[in-house]
Structure 1
Amino acid sequence: MEGDAAESANAKSYSGIPEAVFVDNVDEFMSLPENSEGVDKVLRKLDEQHGKYKFMEYTLATKRRRLRQQIPDLARSLEMIEKLKAQKEDMDTQFLLSDQVFVKANVPPTEKVYLWLGANVMLEYSLEGAEKLLSSNMATAKKNLACVEHDLDFLRDQWTTTEVNMARVYNWDVKKRQAAKASS
């Protein structure tokens, strides 16, 4: 576990998000060959980069929302597996059939359960097999959520850096124009 924490602290991005380079010296930055076409072109490139970061944020936020819903579902399923493993006699219960619709059921002791795997696929598992699968899925979901959270933090830093770069280049251009006006 300590190795994982050290790795995540050193990793910049798990999703391959490109790092925004802070423009410390705008004069040097604007004298680079790729920026020779002028301030407007540089600002357009920075704005395009900013838009890409915003799109990546939307994608990651959607993934985070899905994982945050999945984890409690997996926890409830694991809890139910534990109840079924401990059950020795018939149990009367209610279960959710669809939104706001519950059904009464009598559940006899069992050694098998059916799990929805997605894409309209349901498979039969032994209680132990189901518990193993759900536990594995839970661990994976938690790990993925941690990666997504890390990437979102990294992404926020990148778009903030890009916004600051845009402001610095714009302000540099304004000062340059004002100096040109004053000298003429």
Structure 2
Amino acid sequence: MSTTSSSEPKPGEAGYVNPRGIPQAPFIEAVEEYVRSRDQVESILQSFQEMLSKYKYMEMSTLRRAAGLREKIPDIQKTLDTVLFLDSKRDAEEPTMLTTFELNDTLYAKANVTASDSVYLWLGANVMLEYPIAEATDLLTAKLKAAQESLKLCEEDLEFLRENITTVEVNTARVYNWDVQKRREEKEAGERIK
């Protein structure tokens, strides 16, 4: 009894799609086999330009997402550190501490902070919720881990996209050069006939 396995394409094989759904650009091994006639050259070059535009759009989108994550990760880390610091002060002998905190970009205020069992966290969209310190720590740790993982995936996608952009550019150059060579050969053959 034979079984045929329909395995998915691996990186470098035709039809491969990375885990986030970005298709791999095919590399043209033999231009002569890929381009059957010179009539196809223009449509092939146009399809390469469309593919290149899509890859560049995905690259810009991924760069923006990565930049946002790089900006967000230090804020999450700073908030987590603050919650952990407040947690460490709960059992301290002096439950009140004097601190300076930022109200605005250039406006700071002094405050006496009393140790508490809960903290308030901004969730976004002008929403703030009260959390017990343990839950806040768990939430922030999970958010930090998720943001770091997303950044890692963005960086992998950027590398994958850059490789594919290079592949499409090389394919374009090879097809264009093949077309120039064929035109030159036809011109030389035409001159020999005269």
- The 3-state SS of whatever aligns with 1:156 is helix
* Matched residue, 1:112: 118
Flag the structure with larger Rg. 2
State the alpha-carbon separation in 1 of the partners of residues 61 and 120 from structure 2.
Answer: 32
- The 3-state SS of whatever aligns with 2:158 is helix
* Matched residue, 1:85: 87
* Matched residue, 1:7: none
**1:94 deviation in Å?**
1.2
1:15 aligns with 2:20: yes
* Matched residue, 1:151: 157
* Matched residue, 1:141: 147
User: Could you give the per-residue CA deviations for residues 69-118 of structure 1, whole angstroms, max 9, x where no partner exists?
Assistant: 11111111111011101113211111122222222211111111111111
The counterpart of 1:47, out of the listed 46, 49, 60, is 49
Contact 1:71 1:142 in 2 (8 A): yes
State the alpha-carbon separation in 2 of the partners of residues 119 and 39 from structure 1.
Answer: 51
Contact 1:13 1:150 in 2 (8 A): no
- The 3-state SS of whatever aligns with 2:103 is strand
State the alpha-carbon separation in 2 of the partners of residues 178 and 29 from structure 1.
Answer: 19
The share of aligned pairs that are identical, in percent, is 41
State the alpha-carbon separation in 2 of the partners of residues 14 and 136 from structure 1.
Answer: 22
Structure possessing the higher relative contact order (Cα contacts under 8 Å, 6 or more residues apart): 1
State the alpha-carbon separation in 2 of the partners of residues 16 and 101 from structure 1.
Answer: 45
Contact 1:93 1:107 in 2 (8 A): yes
Deviating above 4 A after TM superposition, structure 1's stretches of 4 or more consecutive aligned residues are none
**1:38 deviation in Å?**
2.0
TM-score when normalising by structure 1: 0.88
Could you say which structure has the higher helix fraction?
1
Structure 2 CA distance for partners of 1:72 and 1:150, relative to 1, 3 Å: same
- The 3-state SS of whatever aligns with 1:16 is coil
* Matched residue, 1:76: 78
* Matched residue, 2:40: 38
- The 3-state SS of whatever aligns with 1:38 is helix
Structure 2 CA distance for partners of 1:183 and 1:171, relative to 1, 3 Å: same
My pick for the range that moved more, 11-20 or 53-62, is 11-20
What 5-or-longer segments of structure 2 have no aligned partner? 1-10
Aligned residues: 172
Structure 2 CA distance for partners of 1:37 and 1:117, relative to 1, 3 Å: farther
Contact 2:38 2:179 in 1 (8 A): no
State the alpha-carbon separation in 2 of the partners of residues 49 and 178 from structure 1.
Answer: 28
Contact 1:14 1:147 in 2 (8 A): no
Alignment RMSD (CA, Å):
1.7
Amino acid at match of 1:38: Q
What 5-or-longer segments of structure 1 have no aligned partner? 1-9
TM-score when normalising by structure 2: 0.84
State the alpha-carbon separation in 2 of the partners of residues 132 and 125 from structure 1.
Answer: 10
My pick for the range that moved more, 110-119 or 155-164, is 110-119
1:29 aligns with 2:34: yes
